[in-house]
Amino acid sequence: MLETAVISIDHSSGVPLYRQIVDQVLLAVSTGRLKPGSRLQTVRQLAIDAQINPNTVSRAYRELDIRGFVRTRRGTGTFIVGDKGVARDEARHREAVEQFCNQVLADAGRLGLSLSELVASLQDRLTERR
Amino acid sequence: MLETAVISIDHSSGVPLYRQIVDQVLLAVSTGRLKPGSRLQTVRQLAIDAQINPNTVSRAYRELDIRGFVRTRRGTGTFIVGDKGVARDEARHREAVEQFCNQVLADAGRLGLSLSELVASLQDRLTERR
DNA sequence: TGGATTGTACTATTCATATAGTACATTAGC
DNA sequence: GCTAATGTACTATATGAATAGTACAATCCA
C-alpha cells in the first residue's frame, strides 16, 4: 500500500474524467513522481476517492495499459511499467507546464483574477522560500 | 475591425469549445486585453477562424451576455460591457488571489511541477502580449 | 428603401462521456 | 480449496457537446 494519491479529479474543469486520470499518470511518470513498479490506486479505491464510477477509472487504466505505461493484473493491481518510463521526458514536461498554465489562466479568468497579479503573488512565494 | 483575435481554440484539450471561448474572453477582460467597448470577432468569423460551428460561438457569446460581460446587438456585433468592473473589495480580492495561488501550488506539487517553472511560464505570457 | 451583415431560434442528429448495475475472471493469501 | 481483492465485460441509460441546416430578426449603411 505504498501508492500515493497522485490523482485528483476536477469535476468542474470540463476535461473528461478518464482523461484527467491518464494525463496525471503520464505526467507523474514523466516527472519521476511515479517510478517503475509503483502501484496505482485500485480501480475501486480511486473511484471512491475521486467520487467517480469504477468503470471510468478502469477505462483510464486500460488506456494506459494499451499505451504501455502501466501493466494491469487482475487480482493484483495496476503498476507502472519498467522501461517505458523513459528518463524524464523534457518535451512532455514542458507541454505539461503549458497545459497546466492554460488551465490556471482559464480558472483565473473565470474568477476575475488577472495574470499579472497571479504572477506577482506567485513570485512573492518564490523569494520567500529562503 | 479593430477586434484582435483574442480567442484561440484547442480542439484537443478536452475542454468544451464554448467554454474555452467564455474563459478566454473573461481572462482577456480581467487582464485588460479587452477593454470596455472592444468588439469581439463576429460569430461567423470566429467560427471560421476556430473551425467550429457558429452555433457554438453564439452559445458562448450568449452566456457572456447573460453574465453581463458583453452586450450583443444583432446586425452590429458583440462588445465588451462598460463597467462590469464593479468597485471591488480590495481586501477580499487579495484574499481570493492568495487562496487561488494556494490551490495552484497544491495542484502543481501533486503533478510534480515546480513553482519556479510555473512562474517562468506565466511570466512569458505576460511579456508575450503584443 | 433595399441589401448586406450580424446574431438568434429551432429541429434533428451524432458522438463522447459518465453512470448504474450485474456478473465474471484472475490472483494472492490463508 | 476458499475467500477476498482486484480488474473486466456487458447492457442500458442519461446527459452534454457539437454539428448541420434552415429560417428569421435586427441593425447598419449606401
Nucleotides of C under 7 A from a protein CB: 4-11, 16-21, 25-28
- The proportion of chain A whose per-residue pLDDT surpasses 90, expressed as a percent, equals 46
Q: What phi and psi, each to the nearest 5 degrees, are found at residue A100? A: -60, -45
Mean pLDDT across chain A, nearest whole number?
A: 86
User: What's residue A130's pLDDT?
Assistant: 44
User: What's residue B46's pLDDT?
Assistant: 96
In the block, which residue shows the cell 478502469? A58
Q: CA of A38 to nearest chain B CA: how many angstroms apart?
A: 15
Residue A3: pLDDT band (50, 70, 90) is low
User: What's residue A85's pLDDT?
Assistant: 42
Write out chain A residues lying below 8 Å of B116, CB-based. 126
Q: Among residues A3, A77, A12, which one has the least CA distance to residue A35?
A: A3
Q: Is the CB of A130 under 7 A from strand D?
A: no
Burial class (CB in 10 A: 0-12, 13-18, 19+), A73: exposed
Q: Which portions of chain B are predicted below pLDDT 70?
A: 1-4, 83-88, 129-130
The reply to whether residue B125 touches residue A6, judged by beta carbons under 8 angstroms, is no
Q: Is the CB of A45 under 7 A from strand D?
A: yes
Evaluate if residue A87 carries a pLDDT over 60. Answer: no
The reply to whether residue A126 touches residue B119, judged by beta carbons under 8 angstroms, is yes
CA/C1' separation B122–C27 (Å): 47
Evaluate if residue A18 carries a pLDDT over 50. Answer: yes
Q: Is the CB of B77 under 7 A from strand C?
A: yes
Q: Tens of pLDDT along B8-37?
A: 898 888 899 999 999 999 988 877 888 899
Lowest mean pLDDT among A37-51, A76-90, A100-114, B67-81: A76-90
